[in-house]
Amino acid sequence: MSPLASRILVAAIGLPVVLALVYAGGWWLFALAAVGAVLAVHEYSLMARSLRPVTLAAYAGVLLILFGAELGGVVWMVGGFLATLALAFVLHWVGQTRQSATIAVSATVLGTAWIGFGLAYLLLLRDSSNHGRLATFTVLIAVWAGDIGAFFAGRLIGRHKLAPALSPGKTWEGFVFGTICTVFVVFVSLYNERHDYLSIGRAVVLGLVVAVAGPLGDLFESGVKRDMQVKDSGRILAGHGGVLDRLDAPLFAFVAVYYLLLAFGKI
């Protein structure tokens, strides 16, 4: 099976499941986020194994962050993350690995914050009382639309490299077309709620924020992979690569959208 065919097959099976759990929300979505977090931390730990991250502390950290977000909001979410620092130090000390504590604990905290906070803001956005379900659906679909638009535009008309040092396949043409797709999806998704939720102008701003945050998340993961000299975070999703390869853009987008909506007074 070709990589494109496998990508389409995985998307056809996975997207309805993800959207159904987002629609259900609550502990159903928490379960999805927890599974995704554990798999992503596993992939991150394998990528960064030369840095000797304390994997057990990272597993515990992302789950504590998610539990905190679901049960108590931002305050308890941060508390769960801070527990990672102490746990990583203790486990590194007990394990007596040859890597320095500074590097091992820093690598652990980076992976925990990157994955844990990104998915926690998914839960916080979905649980927000004011159109949380609509906002979450909008962000997910907009990110996917932008990714697809950038992929095909880059293949067809891409000439100017966006960030050749990090991701040689990305082009400015793909980024511009992906931005158009993202903003269009957000505009259409929120148009009927323009009087009750976000005005057209604010919806466009939200689309632009997603269009920038998503690719930044993608480039961030590309930078980590380049440092660790790996091509994909994993192979569990066939042509899509690993779980972290699919979460890279949403992890940044959910955080950015949450705080934008908070600034708009919609959280």
Give whole-number Cα distances, 213 to 100, 230, 258, in Å: 33, 23, 12
Q: Are 47 and 90 in contact (CB under 8 A)?
A: no
Q: What is the dihedral of CA 256, 179, 169, 36, to 10 degrees?
A: 40
**From CA 241, how far away is CA 152, in angstroms rounded?**
18
With residues binned 3-state (H G I as helix, E B as strand, rest as coil), the percentages for the chain, rounded to 5, are: 80, 5, 15
Token pair of 41, please? Answer: 């931390």
Token pair of 64, please? Answer: 């504590």
Give whole-number Cα distances, 257 to 21, 121, 129, 207, 221, in Å: 20, 9, 15, 9, 19
pLDDT for residue 2 = 60
pLDDT for residue 129 = 78
- Of 120, 18, 27, nearest to 69 (Cα)? 120
pLDDT for residue 238 = 58
Helix pair 243-263, 200-228: axis angle to 10 deg: 140
Which are the contacts of 243, defined by CB distance < 8 A and separation ≥ 6? 36, 39, 40, 43, 233, 234, 236, 237
Q: In 96-199, which ranges are continuous DSSP H helix? A: 101-112, 118-127, 132-157, 172-190
Looking at the DSSP bridge assignments, the partners of residue 161 are 171
pLDDT tens-place string over residues 204-252? 999 999 999 999 999 999 999 999 988 777 677 655 678 999 999 999 9
pLDDT for residue 144 = 93
Helix pair 26-47, 243-263: axis angle to 10 deg: 130
Q: Is the pTM of this model over 0.95?
A: no
| Positions in the chain whose pLDDT score sits under 70 | 1-7, 9-10, 96, 234, 237-240
Residue at 21: amino acid letter:
L
**From CA 241, how far away is CA 244, in angstroms rounded?**
8
